[in-house]
Amino acid sequence: MSETNISKINNIIMEFLEEVYDGPKHEYTWFINNDPKSGLLGTIENMNSGEASTQITKNGTTIAAHIEHLRWTLEKTNSYLRGEKPAMIWSESWPVRKVNETEWETLIQQLRREYIALEESVKKVKWASDEQLKEVLALIPHAAYHLGAIRQIALLIKQPHKNIE
């Protein structure tokens, strides 16, 4: 693949990742609404630890759990892009359920740090293998799914569900 094609692919990947994590940077969007705060980081920036730790169903997950899961996924992908061989044991990506304010702020900072590291890697990666490209491409729908789940949890926390008959 030529340097020009690699650069185009990397820019497209970054546009999608920016949309899901930072929110849209353009008038148009690909899969979320136009509000600049509609990405993951904008969605959680004004949440407190109580909201982030609220389960909406018995044994259900929390927003904090989703954020830790995404942070873990980015950490593993960043490791993989550095040429390491991280163990991808998915059950280990869900250890967090409840957080206090300090833990919540730290978790958001860690997610942002892993996202920034991914941005830097994607800008310069040469795609040594199909698996490397697939690993990064899979992050886009994965994060979009979790963004949707987080929004639904947040909606139910703020507007408790009433039985609909």
Q: In this structure, which amino acid lies at residue 47?
A: M
CATH of domain 3-158: 1.20.120
What local confidence, expressed as pLDDT, does residue 25 receive?
80
What local confidence, expressed as pLDDT, does residue 138 receive?
96
What local confidence, expressed as pLDDT, does residue 1 receive?
64
pLDDT digits (tens, 9 = 90+) for 13-26: 999 999 999 988 87
pLDDT digits (tens, 9 = 90+) for 32-79: 777 767 799 999 999 999 999 999 989 899 999 999 999 999 999 999
Q: List C-alpha distances in Å: 142 to 6, 40, 99, 124, 138.
A: 22, 12, 23, 22, 6
What local confidence, expressed as pLDDT, does residue 104 receive?
98
pLDDT digits (tens, 9 = 90+) for 128-152: 889 999 999 999 999 999 999 999 9
| Residue 98 DSSP label | -
pLDDT-wise least confident of 30-34, 117-121, 158-162: 158-162
More confident site: 75 or 1: 75
Contact 41, 21 (CB under 8 A): yes
| Residue 18 DSSP label | H
pTM of the prediction?
Answer: 0.91
What local confidence, expressed as pLDDT, does residue 152 receive?
94
* Burial degree of 63 (CB within 10 A; 0-12, 13-18, 19+): buried
What local confidence, expressed as pLDDT, does residue 145 receive?
97
Confidence of residue 164 (pLDDT cuts 50, 70, 90): very low
